[in-house]
Structure 1
């Protein structure tokens, strides 16, 4: 299960990343709490800060992938992580001194999003340079395990620390310190044991080249389209959990927290199960997508809150299964010189559909109730899985016909 940890460079990176992931969730919770404090509980301000943090990935994510191919990935990651630490330190000092204002949070969120445009595809593409192709699926699954464990622990610890320390400022400073773990792991890696890809020289049309590359390769297009449909509604699932807990089962805030934790526990279990697999198969990819859709529907039909909680665990398992399988499948099918651009496209579709899915699920829940929203979201995931197959066949068939025309004239 942990075979990729035998590789020294990845082991250092994984440990540093685990520490940093906890800090990231501390900061995410503190950022939400801080903007609510500064705006007297404005939900609109909270939504604006969240949107500003994820908007850059929608606008510039693919350009970040281009940079990941042009420059050596390890120095790029060191620079990005250092900039993120500086941002956390700055907002922490402003908060501790009482100087923090609403616009400071907006600027920090947008700047963090801009850095993430480069950092996320670079980090995704860097994993294979540490572990090689054989251990890549295991490493991706372990990364998911670390992220989801931090997702369970981080917000709970953050709430306790905000209460004990009397504010959010210390949490930003703590996050700044956690970056030292991942930065030091990158600095002290054994460069001779890495498998770096050669940087791609700067040239015109590299972004279009990345798009064409994906369209021409069915092994890339299929999982990217599939994850686009799945993530559109998976990102809205936390909203669905809140609506079901509060409106349908009349549960309080503590019960909502329990439901979120059950889903996160399932996600962690799914990541650990994925880590046991040596290879990634189409069965794993489509099984995860179909399972997530089915368990969403089942959860929407749950007759009791206890039964609903139980169904959240396999839903989390299925979601992480498809996410891990899609990520590994895309990286394994991509040539080294294109990996940054392809992962930029992957992260764009992974994030890009969230506003659409959240708005649609919210509207459907408003019209027909939370159960209808959850059931229809699950149905859309199943329909999207079928659409991914259909659209892939249409596009790859068209590309194949265009390639065949010159050969027959």
Structure 2
């Protein structure tokens, strides 16, 4: 009996080691620890801003405007940021973007505590942060490949990134709800600003190989065209980007309308808002842990339509629910679907993209994931003002379900197209069925 329990304990230990195997790389370990703390602050601010705007104005439309302002720069700048990411040292780009993000959060805090903050200040600072994120996101996504030396661990590292992001997404809203109710939104902005100290420090402690300057095409537009042709000329990359665009446009705005559900549907305050967002974070964290436990990227392409369908179904069902406990369960389902779809897409894109074009591919990923979200936020805010928040979410959920079905229909061709790349990378062998 003792031998049986010893074997079980060893299996569990091996399973845990497998989940966290990317942490054996020093640079990634530093990155993971610094980002884990910083992202909690990021989510605290993400919750505080829409609540602050809705408390001041009571306008669902202005919630959409703020969301639009914060993300439209990504849509405009991300393709150019991708070119620069492939040209410049991604490590240096990250240090600059993290310092600028810290200054943005501290400026919000200063305006709040001096009682000079107005909605237009929030909109302007959201635009500035959106500009910073346009360069930060593709650089950060591409930098993962440089921190993780063994390609077979890339999927694990990306899944751990997602678990880190969603762990913060779980803690951040809960902490934000308490802070907003007790101390006000300004403390949330201040905590976020200070949290960037950890990620900047982790970057500075890294041991980075000397940067090899690449031969640059003097014409940025030509490099942009090359990246566009490569991204949308290859069917698997194109399919993933288009599905991400649909989800970001039609499904993701559910988070923008959460203050409306918390206040007007469930008749609660910031703590109800925090619980709803935390439930989505729990689901996302569950999905991330599952993906981190996987040993290979094989099969991720099959998860994408299933996860998209679960996300769409969760959003649509949530729009109909008037029971708070049931809504929390549906938010968990929504979080699982959203995270798994995004993480699987990210992993496949980084795996099948050529090294010299990865930055540009990830810039289009950023554009699809974050850049189209402002249009979704603006549309959701406008539709919610006309037909109500529940009907708006129902419409978005159905659109995501349709996208999942279309992707599933093309899945056999998708798998056939990426198979030669997996063979070349040694992920599968020629004889593998």
Q: 39-48 vs 53-62, which deviates more?
A: 39-48
Change (3 A) 1:392 1:115: farther
Q: Which residue of 2 aligns with 1:283?
A: 302
Aligned counterparts, 1:10-159, within 5 A: 10-32=28-50, 46-100=63-117, 102-132=119-149, 133-159=151-177
What do residues 307-339 of structure 1 show as CA deviations (whole Å, max 9, x unaligned)? 443233222212211110001111111111111
TM-score by length of 1: 0.82
Q: Distance in 1 between matches of 2:180 and 2:262?
A: 25
Q: Which residue of 1 aligns with 2:339?
A: 320
Contact 1:200 1:337 (8 Å CA) reproduced = no
2:397 pairs with 1:378: yes
Q: Which residue of 2 aligns with 1:399?
A: none
Q: CA RMSD in A?
A: 3.3
Q: Which residue of 1 aligns with 2:10?
A: none
Contact 1:69 1:337 (8 Å CA) reproduced = yes
Q: 282-291 vs 168-177, which deviates more?
A: 168-177
Contact 1:30 1:158 (8 Å CA) reproduced = yes
Change (3 A) 1:46 1:219: closer
Change (3 A) 1:85 1:284: same
Q: Compute the displacement of 1:21 (Å).
A: 0.6
* SS of corresponding position for 2:152: coil
What do residues 350-373 of structure 1 show as CA deviations (whole Å, max 9, x unaligned)? 124334545666677777776654
Change (3 A) 1:287 1:349: same
Q: Compute the displacement of 1:120 (Å).
A: 1.0
Q: Compute the displacement of 1:382 (Å).
A: 2.2
Q: Compute the displacement of 1:393 (Å).
A: 11
Contact 1:222 1:389 (8 Å CA) reproduced = no
Q: Compute the displacement of 1:251 (Å).
A: 4.9
Q: Which residue of 2 aligns with 1:292?
A: 311
Q: Which residue of 1 aligns with 2:355?
A: 336
Q: Distance in 1 between matches of 2:153 and 2:248?
A: 25
* SS of corresponding position for 2:96: helix
Which of 218, 228, 244 pairs up with 1:203?
218
Contact 2:70 2:374 (8 Å CA) reproduced = no
* SS of corresponding position for 1:190: coil
TM-score by length of 2: 0.78
* SS of corresponding position for 1:127: helix
Aligned counterparts, 1:155-166, within 5 A: 155-165=173-183
Q: Distance in 2 between matches of 1:274 and 1:322?
A: 11
Q: Distance in 1 between matches of 2:116 and 2:263?
A: 36
Could you tell me which runs of 5 or more consecutive residues in structure 1 were left unpaired when the two chains were aligned: 396-409
Q: Which residue of 2 aligns with 1:407?
A: none
Q: Compute the displacement of 1:26 (Å).
A: 2.7
* SS of corresponding position for 2:296: coil
Q: Which residue of 1 aligns with 2:6?
A: none
What do residues 284-325 of structure 1 show as CA deviations (whole Å, max 9, x unaligned)? 222212222334444456685544432332222122111100
Q: Which residue of 2 aligns with 1:173?
A: 190
Which of 248, 251, 254 pairs up with 1:237?
254
Q: Distance in 2 between matches of 1:42 and 1:362?
A: 9
Q: Compute the displacement of 1:177 (Å).
A: 2.1
Q: Compute the displacement of 1:209 (Å).
A: 0.7
Contact 2:70 2:127 (8 Å CA) reproduced = yes
Aligned residues: 390
Contact 2:64 2:256 (8 Å CA) reproduced = no
Q: Distance in 1 between matches of 2:348 and 2:182?
A: 44
Change (3 A) 1:278 1:16: same
Could you tell me which runs of 5 or more consecutive residues in structure 2 were left unpaired when the two chains were aligned: 1-18, 415-433
Q: 238-247 vs 93-102, which deviates more?
A: 238-247
Q: Which residue of 1 aligns with 2:418?
A: none
Contact 2:284 2:336 (8 Å CA) reproduced = yes
Q: Distance in 2 between matches of 1:394 and 1:304?
A: 42
Q: Distance in 1 between matches of 2:102 and 2:329?
A: 38
Q: Distance in 2 between matches of 1:327 and 1:163?
A: 36
Q: Distance in 2 between matches of 1:43 and 1:370?
A: 9
* SS of corresponding position for 2:216: coil
Q: Distance in 1 between matches of 2:227 and 2:35?
A: 28
